[in-house]
Amino acid sequence: MEWGADTVSRELPIDAALCSALLLRLRRDAPERHLSWTLGDRGAAEVDVHFHPTGGQSGAYGPAWSTTARLWDAPRLALTTAVVEMRVCADDRCEVSLRLADPVPASWQGRTDELAALARAAVDELAEELLWHASRPDFSRTQR
């Protein structure tokens, strides 16, 4: 996992040919329009499950999709928004990234380490959710 000035990303061992179907399955499996996680003392995250193509901006290898996210601190007083992207990087690899809104709200100013830890935790949760869906025995058989 990598953290840039305002972005955290994680590579996933997911077949590029299955990414679109994987995001559709994630959306269909979600009980609401978003997935949300309480991330302990880091805060909470909510990711909209309606990913959409990025309109011509593709990954290094293939297509890309994006959606929105919201991050709250632990007491749920400070909120910031973010963009989540999933890009195909190779035949068997994708990348999920979360880019914070610009500018970061005043309520998060001076707490960049805390916000970075929250962003990492949110990407990890989403990545694990995607990996779980991709690993289901019925998924790869029905999508090819």
pLDDT of 136 over the 50 cut: yes
Give the tens place of pLDDT for each residue, 68-120.
Answer: 999 999 988 899 999 999 998 888 899 999 999 878 888 888 888 999 999 99
Structure tokens that stand for 45 in this block: 């995250």
65-69 own/partner pairs: CB under 8 Å, 24+ apart: 65/19, 65/20, 65/23, 69/45, 69/98, 69/122
The alpha carbon torsion through 49, 54, 59, 63 (nearest 10 deg) reads 80
pLDDT of 138 over the 80 cut: no
Domains of the chain as residue ranges with CATH: 2-137 (3.30.530)
pLDDT of 66 over the 90 cut: yes
